[in-house]
Amino acid sequence: MSNSTKADLGEDLRLQEGGAEASLWWTHVPPMEGERLGVIGGFSASPDAAEDAAKLLVRSCDELKARGCTLAVGPMNGNTWRSYRLVTDASDEPPFLLEPTNPPEWPGWWRAAGFGPLAEYYSSATDDLAARDPRVDAVATRMAMAGVRVRPIDPARFEEELERIYEVSVVSFQANYLYTPLPREAFLAQYRAIRDKVRPELVLLAERAGQPVGYVFAVPDYAQAQRGLPVTTVIVKTLAVLPGRQHAGLGAWLLAEAHAAARELGFTRAIHALMHETNKSRNLSAHYAKTIRRYTLFSKRLTA
């Protein structure tokens, strides 16, 4: 049995095939030079629904092609600000806070439907929060001489601090893969949703002359507590710095300061989460951490 419905979460169309379902976007999607993207997200399927999933993915591509799309991308809930990509190399590491998860068979179902890797993402972990990139001290001195200061956010002014983080994000993230602008209120809403998870000491803001120029956003891995374990790990969720040579090295300094703050609070481990294969954050992470998880965003050509 198959059906289609108009969705109410911003999708253009919601599809279902037996035990599998997905949403489609083609009106508001990330830009890609030379392509018109069609996005498949909201994907779910029961463990015994391999055939349904295959039919669903074929039908999704047909629907997108009929709308003039040249490349199907997924899984992605419309854009990269929402949930996207599949875990394709899980390792033995348990899921951490805010990490996307999926049954291990799903990537094989996408590949069988003709999808291949479009982009790869990684999470890495370090058990040595005392380790420090030897170049960081020189960067810290140079930044201090240039008037840059790093401080934890003020929880009493949480909304104002989020506004400053947003100011950096909308500029820093413009170079990110498949970037789409996000309205201020939508950005703030995403961070308000995890306010109860925030330790102010782990969210550091870099400022020059009172203006934000970078930040690192880390949170305790409360998924450990859900498993009945002590919370010993922090998740470095986001690291962002304004572009320009004057800010060279600031990301490394912020990451080192986040590690130091976590260590002072009694944490013993850090996970650098969900880094794109070409992202500068991954290069910084390589000085401290080893890969624990790999994720893939898939695509399929819709035109000959």
Name the DSSP class of 49. Answer: -
- Name the nearest CA neighbour of 88 among 77, 101, 99: 101
Q: Tokens representing 263?
A: 């260590």
39: three-class secondary structure by DSSP: strand
- Residue 282: its pLDDT value, please? 75
Cα distance between residue 287 and residue 152, in whole Å: 23
CATH of domain 2-120+296-301: 3.40.630
Q: Tokens representing 198?
A: 């925030």
Question: Which CATH architecture group holds 129-287?
Answer: 3-Layer(aba) Sandwich (3.40)
- Residue 145: its pLDDT value, please? 94
- Residue 9: its pLDDT value, please? 56
- Residue 304: its pLDDT value, please? 63
- Residue 4: its pLDDT value, please? 44
Please give the distance of CA 179 from its chain centroid, rounded to a whole number.
12
**Domain ranges for the chain:** 2-120+296-301, 129-287
- Name the nearest CA neighbour of 239 among 271, 280, 194, 286: 280
For the chain, how far is it from start to end, CA to CA, in angstroms?
30
Q: Tokens representing 97?
A: 């806070």
Residue 72 contacts by C-beta under 8 Å, 6 or more apart in sequence?
Answer: 37, 38, 39, 40, 60, 61, 64, 115, 299, 300, 302
288: three-class secondary structure by DSSP: coil
Q: Tokens representing 255?
A: 């990451």
Q: Please indicate whether the domains covering 2-120+296-301 and 129-287 agree at the CATH topology level.
A: yes
**Which residues sit opposite 293 in a β-bridge?**
123
- pLDDT per residue as tens, the chain (304 positions): 344 444 445 899 999 999 999 999 999 999 999 999 999 999 999 999 999 999 999 999 999 999 999 999 999 999 999 999 999 999 899 999 999 999 999 999 999 999 999 999 999 999 999 988 888 999 999 999 999 999 999 999 999 999 999 999 999 999 889 999 889 999 999 999 999 999 999 999 999 999 999 999 999 999 999 999 999 999 999 999 999 988 999 999 999 999 999 999 999 999 999 999 887 777 777 777 899 999 999 999 998 6
